[in-house]
Amino acid sequence: MNIDQLTELSYEQLAHALYVKGEREGFSKVTDKTKWRENVTAEKLGHIVHKKISAGAGKDEYGSDAYDNSNKVYAEYKSKAIEDKQVRNLLQEVRYPKKGTLYSPLQVNGVYNGAYTHAAIDSYSKCDHYFSVFYKEKCVLIIKVNTKEVVSQLRETLNKRLSKSNNTTTNCNTVTVSLGDTTKYTVAYKDFSIFGGDQ
């Protein structure tokens, strides 16, 4: 099926096809939230994605979305969808040619809803962390964020929340990495049709 045939399908038909493909591969609801992005990320990295959306506390795979069989370690995935105007930040294009000033590097973040206790954060310290960037629902970049950086940011946010007497939520603990800070991550996958250059 070529791209013209695909675009003739309705959104409902495309969504249903995605659901059926996931079901046939053992996923109860691959269309739930951004579960389908986990499958895309796992394919790019050669990982085995978990069939269930969330593993229960106390299980080995708790705090992870997939298993890296090559390195025998669990992997947690986060994803960010960008719009046209953010591509210039992703690519760090020139903003002011005369000065040679570039657009600021893209900030890639991941929300860790399960990181609301130090015990929960401990489970995240036992897996690798991959943040994917999607553009027009295509995976264009995956970075592997240093686990120490992830854990450090999660603990810092949690400690700030715990110190407040009027803390209303312990959820949505976010880790943010600037693509300009290459000491905090390594590139695990890059779509060279977006970035240009040789593979």
Task: Name the pTM for this structure.
Answer: 0.86
From the candidate CATH numbers 3.40.50, 1.10.287, 3.40.210, 3.30.230, the one assigned to the domain spanning 60-195: 3.40.210
Per-residue H/E/C for the chain: CCHHHHHHCCHHHHHHHHHHHHHHCCCCCCCCCCHHHHHHHHHHHCCEECCCCCCCCCCCCCCCCEEECCCCEEEEEEEEEECHHHHHHHHCCEEECCCCEECCCCEEEEEECCCCCHHHHHHHCCCEEEEEEEECCEEEEEEEECHHHHHHHHHHHHHHHHHCCCCCCCCCEEEEEECCCCCCEEEEEECHHHHCCCC
**Where do the domains of the chain lie?**
60-195
pLDDT tens digits, one per residue of 100-125 = 899 999 999 999 988 888 988 998 99
What pLDDT sits at residue 62?
64
User: What is the mean pLDDT, run by run of 10 residues, along the chain of 199 residues?
Assistant: 84 81 83 84 94 59 86 96 94 91 96 88 93 93 98 94 71 92 97 76
